[in-house]
Amino acid sequence: MTRETSTKVIGLCHGFYGYRTLAEAIGVNPDEVEWEIPGVNHWVYLTQFRHNGQDLYPLVDKWIENEADRYWAEFKGRFSATQLSRAAIDHYRRVGVMPIGDASRTFSEWYYHSDLETKRRWYGQNGGFDSEIGWGQYLEGLEKNIQRIREVTLDETQRVTDVVKPERTREIQVPIIDAIANDKPDIFQVNVPNNGAITGIKDDVVVEGKALVDASGAKLLHVGKLPGKLMHMVIGPRIAKAERELAAFLHGDHDLLVSCLLLDDYRTHSLEQAERYTDAMLALP
């Protein structure tokens, strides 16, 4: 959108709040934590994690050594708990920094997702958010919410605020609107074009990180260089995937669309499947 249109747009994902789960696990008040979680949308990593100036990563490593096995033995696979799943810890050990939020489940290691039994090993009893069970529960929850909204909309005797409480949550859409419309400068985690914030990523690639937001818009705070293993193993491939998919849609390239699916290791099972899916997608109204 930022490349092809003049629309002023900010992307949001609340997955960065996963740092709070991590802080609570190691016994630190999340409200007192200093953090930096840069990356690209849904794929963000905890590059700074401090409390009163003290690096908290040693406490994370201590939790893994002393508490993780007991936690996993009792772990039922709640969506919010994927932050501390076996998969998240395995990924942290190899990349060197902790994946946060959706990054604790959406990174590209196919061996976390090969079948339901494997998913249960890495993500708990229901196989995690992306399993057959997890997606079913998620969609069921969405349908219940939609039904509740429908009922309150059609029933004039009900007050919306009796169903949806007028209480502030940790979602940041309204505070961002307030910061822009009323010029109240504040720091928010957003997705906007890089413009030099993260070294080695093109300016017109949208990245995620903390930004100063006010009436002039959103300007990312400087991050600098990310760890080399993180760039090589995660961020670089993710950006390449986004560029490939964008090019396929901009040019209507059938072969490139099929190629995008073939590179998705744990969802694509054959060339024929990828071709059928692409044909079905392009046949949509």
SS3 40: strand
CA nearest to 184, candidates 214, 210, 212: 214
Stated length of the chain? 285
Sign of CA dihedral 133, 134, 138, 144: positive
Q: Which residues form the domain of 182?
A: 173-220
Same domain, 189 and 232: no
Decide if 111 is inside a domain: yes
Same domain, 127 and 185: no
Same domain, 66 and 25: yes
Q: Which helix (H) or strand (E) holds 213?
A: strand 206-214
Residue 102 known to be catalytic: yes
Decide if 142 is inside a domain: no
pLDDT of residue 106: 67
CA nearest to 13, candidates 104, 77, 88: 104
CA nearest to 49, candidates 91, 100, 86, 105: 100
Decide if 145 is inside a domain: no
Say which DSSP state 201 is in: S
Residue 263: how many CA atoms within 13 Å on its side-chain side? 13
Same domain, 69 and 39: yes
pLDDT of residue 76: 67
Same domain, 28 and 89: yes
Measured distance CA(223)–CA(199) in Å, rounded: 8
Quick: pLDDT tens for 195-223.
999 999 999 999 999 999 999 999 999 99
Calculated CA dihedral for residues 106, 220, 2, 275, nearest 10 degrees: -10
Same domain, 90 and 42: yes
In this structure, the number of other CB atoms found within 10 A of the CB of residue 278 comes to: 19
Same domain, 45 and 69: yes
Decide if 58 is inside a domain: yes
Decide if 206 is inside a domain: yes
pLDDT of residue 130: 83
The CA-CA-CA angle for residues 103, 72, 89, to 5°, reads 35
Same domain, 125 and 35: yes
pLDDT of residue 78: 64
Q: Which parts of the chain sit beneath pLDDT 50?
A: none
Among residues 55, 61, 91, 102, which one is catalytic? 102
Decide if 40 is inside a domain: yes
Tell me the residue type at 150.
Answer: R
Measured distance CA(188)–CA(219) in Å, rounded: 10
SS3 183: coil
Measured distance CA(140)–CA(123) in Å, rounded: 20
Decide if 208 is inside a domain: yes
Same domain, 214 and 243: no
Same domain, 21 and 126: yes
Residue ranges in 112-172 assigned as alpha helix (H): 116-123, 132-154, 160-163
Which backbone phi and psi does 211 adopt, to 5 degrees?
Answer: -140, 150
Decide if 119 is inside a domain: yes
Measured distance CA(218)–CA(11) in Å, rounded: 11
Same domain, 240 and 197: no
Among residues 14, 42, 178, 214, which one is catalytic? 14
pLDDT of residue 80: 59
Measured distance CA(180)–CA(227) in Å, rounded: 33
Same domain, 100 and 209: no
Q: What total of structural domains would you count in the chain?
A: 3
pTM: 0.90
